Amino acid sequence: MDYTDTFSGKRIFPFAPEVEQISILDIAHALSNICRFGGHTKEFYSVAQHSILVSQHCDPTDALWGLLHDASEAYIGDLTKPIKQLEELKPYRDAEDRLHRVISIKFKLSETIPESVKRADKVMLMTEKRDLMKAADLRVKQNIDIKPLPKRIIPLPPKTSEQLFMERFNSLMSLAETAHPQFGG
């Protein structure tokens, strides 16, 4: 089976991932170098920065899930929604689901993405469309009740996003270990 070499020097088998193949360093590095919207933004805006913002705008108890909700993209890349939903790409979606399960085990997350993370992701989508796209349509039918955040997004360079992603992760892990000492064990 084919594997991918990661930033940290590990190998991951995206169609048969194992917990020990997952590294937060790989996730932070890769997501900071992947541009949202297939690169069709006014300027570079990383999946890592998006993830940080989702983690800051979901329920605080779900913040780690918010930070890692797109972590599978670190290993299999990001596809735009119209492409990802094609029936022919079911193997991609299956790989994404397997990676989500392994990542959730690695970081002791619930198996399913919490509703507050899904909502924060939609809020960020609307905010990103307003701030980062030239022809943004904020009347997207499925998000009619979702309004963008008042504060505008200022895209960060990849290295800054990577650093902030790691700081957010370390902060959230520290909080989890304080609240539940067995979490760090």
Backbone angles phi, psi at 162, to 5 degrees: -60, -45
CA distance 170 to 175: 9
| Domain chopping of the chain, boundaries | 4-184
Grouping H, G, I as helix, E, B as strand and the rest as coil, residue 121 is: helix
- Tokens linked to 151: 């504060």
Return averaged pLDDT per consecutive 10 residues of the chain, 185 residues in all. Answer: 92 95 98 96 97 98 98 93 90 94 97 96 95 73 75 98 98 81 50
CB 120 within 8 A of CB 148: no
Q: What's the pLDDT at 143? A: 52
pLDDT of residue 176: 78
Tell me, what's the pLDDT at 46? Answer: 98
Q: So what's the pLDDT on residue 134?
A: 87
pLDDT at site 185: 41
- The pLDDT score that the predictor gives to residue 137 is 59
User: For residues 171 and 37, is the Cβ–Cβ distance under 8 A?
Assistant: no
Q: How is domain 4-184 classified at the CATH fold level?
A: Hypothetical protein af1432 (1.10.3210)
User: 29: which 2 tokens?
Assistant: 């590095």
Q: Which of 129, 86, 102, 90 is nearest to 27 (CA)?
A: 102
Give the pLDDT of residue 177.
75
CA 140 to chain CA centroid, Å, is: 21
Q: Which residue has the tokens 């994404």?
A: 96
Helix (H) or strand (E) holding 5: strand 4-5
